[in-house]
Amino acid sequence: MKKRLMLIMLMISIILNVVLVYKFFYQGEKVTVKKDSRSEIKMTKENREFVMAEMRGFLESVQKINEGIIKNDPNIIVNVSQQSGTCKVNAVPQGLVRSLPYEFKQMGFQTHELFDVMSKMAKEKYDRQQIQVKMNELLNNCVACHKTYKITAEP
């Protein structure tokens, strides 16, 4: 009799587990992407790749600046103008320039310029707190543009 009860308990436990595992792995909430209000910029795949590579360079430069701040070492910050400064603007393909809205170009240029400014600050009159203030200005630029635009590659 006791053995039978154990068996029933075991069966119930197994069924419960199967149900829970099923619920956990297969019945997730459907993820719905909230409709986003960003403006869409269309360009060729190659140009999108170009912009995204530039963006990854931006992120690397931001990391460098932050490292410089943490280690209180301006030498780490000096080179960001080479990676992300206005010198990069000349390398932008003409077709790409044409596909960009005016505000995007403006924000983009300002961002390149800020990297130059920060590099210069680090070289000439390094002040940890002022670099941080500039860094915040810079990050506000990243945020503002990301809120406003997305880029899709034309098929």
Binding mask 119-148 for ligand HEC (x = CB under 6 A): -------------------x--xx--xx--
Distance, CA of 22 to CA of 12 (rounded, Å):
15
Exposure string over 67-87, b if 16+ CB within 10 A, otherwise e:
ebbeeeebebbbbbbebbbbe
Show Cβ contacts of residue 152 under 8 Å, excluding neighbours closer than 6 positions.
40, 41, 42, 43, 48
Q: From the CB of 59, what's the least distance to ligand HEC, in Å?
A: 4
Q: Given the complex with ligand HEC, which of 123 and 142 has the nearer CB atom?
A: 142
Q: How far is the CB of 89 from ligand HEC (least distance, A)?
A: 12
Q: Which of 50, 83, 88, 107: binder of ligand HEC (CB under 6 A)?
A: 107
The reply to whether 59 sits near ligand HEC by the rule CB under 6 A is: yes
Cβ atoms of 116 and 6 within 8 Å: the answer is no
Q: Which residues bind ligand HEC (CB under 6 A)?
A: 52, 55-56, 58-59, 62, 104, 107-108, 111, 138, 141-142, 145-146, 149-151
